[in-house]
Structure 1
Amino acid sequence: MSDKSITMDQQYEINKLAKRLRAGVGKAINDYNMIEAGDTVMVCLSGGKDSYSMLDILMSLQKSAPISFRLIAVNLDQGQPGFPKEVLPNYLESLGVEYKIIEEDTYSTVKRVIPEGKTTCGLCSRLRRGILYRVAREIGATKIALGHHRDDILETLFLNMFYGGKLKGMPAKLVSDDGSNVVIRPLAYCAEKDIARYAMIKEFPIIPCNLCGSQPNLQRQVIKDMLTEWNKKHPGRIETMFRAMQNIVPSHLMDTASYDFVNLKSDGIAREDGDKAFDKEVFSAPLAVNFTN
């Protein structure tokens, strides 16, 4: 958005949006201890709105943070036909941020292995993640920052419930399965609509993923549409569901590995996680949170 076209009221709204996103990222970093003094954070940059916004906000926070940490923007060029190779290097050069471009032709592998008409996201993601883990070790990164936001996290929860039969989401911080890398998601508290608006205002040079975008009826898109419809009919439901992911009660679920149901016995001692089935359960309406203000 050109500065000449921005009114004072629009600038005020833009400043509020930037402040809200920055505050969300800062809170997520603090809540989960995502970035520590001396960290080298590998910021995974895809060329999409989310990763551009993440890098922009992290660079902003880096300037005022009470600790010192290093940012390295890393892009994986997967060999997709027509990929504009010059866009990201030119943009990153203009920012003056340290960066690294990795060229690995995973596109050909995915197209060869996955039958025509089948979803490619799973294999593409696994190949990409493996390469990024390797690169993180090579450059000495202590943290790997991914651009997943609040909506991605909720969508993953429902994807796992509906299609995987498990209560599993996408945490804000975790260790990779080989124990070598710490993965962080600084945008975990940020709404996708805010990020989309921010990316438009900042005029990031978006590079669309033709491989993913060309696939109809993706399961994730089905879930996204469902959540969007729910939120239209019941404003605030998205926020309530997200809070639920941070307020888990294992004693009222069914996982014997998470709660010792086998050895559970009455002992006459009152307990917070005890059954309240004989009391009337009271539910309040979802708290409507306006993320546009």
Structure 2
Amino acid sequence: MERQMEPCQLIERSIIKKYRKELWTPFIVAVKRYELVQAGDKIAVCISGGKDSMLMAKLMQELQRHSDVPFELVFLVMDPGYNEINRQKIESNAALLNIPITIFETDVFAVANNSDKSPCYLCARMRRGYLYKKAQELGCNKIALGHHFNDVIETTVMSMFYGSQLQAMPPKLHSTNFPGMVLIRPLYCVREEDIIAWKR
């Protein structure tokens, strides 16, 4: 009698088997082409709780499991001031996916809401800073964000129409404010429609 697979095992299998062409292959292409992961890295995989970052976390787990290159992972969740329901949802999804998350609290939402500046811009800037700082405290040399191919295209097009200069979203970026830290985007070649299809 064939042993029944756990939900997490079914999810992992879907990434490697059913959605290999759509998810696993473009993920590996980005990792290799842009040299996102190297031996000895300690990477903070930043999880917001959405489909993109959760998928990225599973892909990075699978890469660590199957790769000949030794590297460490920390799954980092920044709580910017979530309500209890949102936080519990992130925790339960992480448990379902067998992702051992590390949560730390910040006051990003409160500060952004009380500022005269654009709250969205300020929130994004503060989030990034807190993630870099916490990752550095944990001994990481890289942070991984869940931006996908569509995000890259949208950012470039928006900068063409509304910005004074062309701005791209690179797959790898060395931080100027946190020396020695590198930002990577492992989903750089993965399309949003394929992520949505997998999520269903």
Q: TM-score, with normalisation over the residues of structure 2?
A: 0.85
| 1:114 CA displacement | 4.2
SS in 2 for 1:124: helix
Structure 1 segment 148-167 matched on structure 2, within 5 A: 148-167=147-166
Letter in 1 for 2:167: K
Q: Residue 173 of structure 1 contacts residue 182 of structure 1 at CA under 8 Å; is this kept in 2?
A: yes
Matched, 1:120 2:122: no
In structure 1, the residue matched to 2:192 is 192
Quote the Cα distance in structure 1 between the aligned partners of 2:139 and 2:101. Answer: 13
Instruction: Select the residue among 14, 19, 22 that pairs with 1:20.
Output: 22
The 5 Å alignment of 1:63-142 reads 63-114=65-116, 120-142=119-141
Q: Name which structure has the greater RCO, CA cutoff 8 Å, separation 6+.
A: 2
Structure 1 residues 227-277: Cα deviation after superposition (integer angstroms, max 9, x where no partner):
xxxxxxxxxxxxxxxxxxxxxxxxxxxxxxxxxxxxxxxxxxxxxxxxxxx
Q: Which of residues 29, 32, 35 is equivalent to 2:31?
A: 29
Give the partner amino acid of 1:138: E
**Cα distance in structure 2, aligned partners of 1:72 and 1:170:** 23
C-alpha contact (below 8 Å) 2:57/2:99 kept by paired residues: no
Query: CA-to-partner distance for each residue in 1:165-197, whole Å, 9 max, x for gaps?
Result: 212110000111223310000000010100111
Amino acid of the residue matched to residue 21 of structure 1? L
1:168 aligned counterpart, secondary structure: coil
Aligned to 1:245: none
Structure 2: distance between partners of 1:138 and 1:83: 28
Q: How many residues align?
A: 188
What TM-score, normalized by structure 1, do the two folds share? 0.59
SS of 1:174 mapped into structure 2: strand
Higher percent of residues as strand: 2
Taking only the aligned residue pairs, the percentage that are identical comes to 36
For 1:257-268, list aligned pairs within 5 A.
none
Give the superposed CA RMSD: 2.4
Would the aligned equivalents of 1:53 and 1:198 in 2 still touch at CA under 8 Å? no
Q: List alignment gaps of at least 5 residues for structure 2.
A: 6-12
Distance 2:26 2:176 in 1: 27
Residues 38-83 of structure 1: CA distance to partner in whole angstroms, max 9, x if unpaired? 2111000000110011111111121111111111111111113454
For residue 183 of structure 2, give the secondary structure of its aligned residue in structure 1: strand
Please give the secondary structure, in 1, of the residue aligned with 2:77: strand
Contact 2:42-2:142 at 8 Å conserved across structures? yes
Aligned position for 2:180: 180
1:169 is matched with which residue? 168
Cα shift readout 1:187-225 (whole Å, capped 9, x = no counterpart): 00010100111122xxxxxxxxxxxxxxxxxxxxxxxxx
Gaps of 5+ in 1: 4-10, 201-293
In terms of fraction of residues, the more helix-rich structure is 2
Tell me the alpha carbon deviations over residues 12-61 of structure 1, each in whole angstroms, 9 at most, x when there is no partner: 9x944244311111110101110011211100000011001111111112
Amino acid at match of 1:168: Q
